[in-house]
Amino acid sequence: MNIKTKGIIKDATPEIKSCIRSIVTGGHEMVTSCIINANNLMGDIFTYDEFLTALSTILADVEIEKYWITRVDMRFDSYDREYYLRNAKLNRFLISMIAVTYNVKNRYRTVDLFSEQQLSVAIKTDEFEIENYDKERESAGCDRAKSRFELRSKRMRGKDIEQEFLVGWPRRWEKSLKNFSKVGERYNEELVRIYREGSTVFPKKFSNLTDFLLQYQNCIFTKEQMIDFLEMVGVKNPKIKYQNHKQRYGIELFNIDDVSAAIAEINRATRQYFGKSKVIQTERYKGMQGPCNKGENANLKMVQTHNMDVAA
């Protein structure tokens, strides 16, 4: 997490030094901005109560009593080596739903220089960030986690951590799920443009429509999206073309139940982390919890993390 406090803090003891980094900024009064990683105190933390205990230890060591929170990250880890690639497309769709719903401009996908294998997908706004990345590649195998999905809340402005992750993020997911079909529409805008531009250039980027569909299959997420795309590029019988392509080549596609199950798992893991939170019992949160779905994302392990930039 990131916090700010007035004045200059005490130097951390050797036992605590790896848990906190700070920078002092001036102006009318001195303000210290701190990055705190409570996981560095005794290892990965799996419950909110453990996090609060570790945080208290760290703050007491540097004699911080009053502070305000500016950013908190939550990570969902998998220790399965195959998990990242197996779920990369579904997680990309989840992130794309948020990007479409909140009209996110800062969005990107990184790939390995030589193999073109996906390494991460992320979106960033002034209020929040989401990133799914290949943790094994990022850590060169040094971290126990193999895949990581992170929710990052910024500009907390005194918000309560439990309220933010138990209410704020489920609301974002709930709102985004209503735009399920708009994700395909947004991708199709780009796919149609790429297809039409690529059909008239030399050297050729693809030999025909089937070749294009194979190259860009990770940008096609639903049956309806694929049929709409085929119709938009002039295929006379798009439903038949879709059936023939799927039968001959195969393609991973999702429906709204698949996406709802993934969101329900994120919410379930979050509630598990916070335990018997009073926030969960509020009327505002009822109806957002969803069932505990044992779908593809059921092996997510959720841990609190604080891997953040220094806020000036």
Residue spans per domain, the chain: 1-66
Q: Tell which wins on pLDDT, 276 or 149.
A: 149
Mean pLDDT of the chain: 89
150-200 pLDDT, tens digit each = 999 999 887 899 999 999 999 999 999 999 999 999 999 999 999 999 999
Tell me the C-alpha distance between 238 and 216, whole Å: 17
Q: Which residues, at least 6 apart from 96, have a Cβ–Cβ distance to it below 8 Å?
A: 183, 186, 187, 221
Residue 289 pLDDT > 90, yes or no? no
For 196-249, write each residue's pLDDT tens digit.
999 999 999 999 999 999 999 999 999 999 999 999 999 999 999 999 999 999
Position 224 scores a pLDDT of 98
**Residue 283's pLDDT is what?**
39
Q: What is the pTM of this model?
A: 0.88
Q: What is the pLDDT of residues 93-140, one digit of tens each?
A: 999 999 999 999 999 999 999 999 999 999 999 999 999 999 999 999
- Reported confidence tier of residue 277, pLDDT bands at 50, 70, 90: low
Tens digit of each residue's pLDDT (9 = 90 or more) over 140-155: 999 999 999 999 999 9
Burial 197-216 (b: 16+ CB within 10 A, else e): eeeeeeeeebeebeebbeeb
Q: Is 119 exposed, middle or buried (0-12, 13-18, 19+ CB in 10 A)?
A: middle
The Cα–Cα gap between 40 and 62 comes to 15
Residue pair 120/131 in contact by the 8 Å Cβ criterion: yes
Tokens of 279: 């926030």
Is 299 a residue whose pLDDT tops 70? no
The DSSP annotation for the chain comes to -EEEEES-PPPPPTTTGGGEEEEEE-SSS-EEEEEE-THHHHS---SHHHHHHHHHHHHHHTT--S-EEEEEEEEEEE--TTHHHHHHHHHHHHHHHHHHHTT-SEEEEEE-TTT--EEEEEEE-SSEEEEEE-HHHHTTT-SS-SEEEEEEEE--TT--HHHIIIIIHHHHHHHHHTTHHHHHHHHHHHHHHHHHHHTT-SS-S-SSHHHHHHHTGGG--SHHHHHHHHHHTT-SSHHHHHHHHHHHH------HHHHHHHHHHHHHHHHHHH-S-TGGGSTTTTTSS-----STTTT-EEEEE---PPP-
Give the per-residue pLDDT at 279: 66
Give per-residue pLDDT as tens, 82-103: 999 999 999 999 999 999 999 9
What is the Cα–Cα distance from 71 to 68, expressed in whole angstroms? 10
In the chain, % of residues over pLDDT 70? 88
pLDDT band at 295 (very low <50, low <70, confident <90, very high): very low
Higher pLDDT among residues 280 and 87, named by residue: 87
Backbone angles phi, psi at 93, to 5 degrees: -65, -45
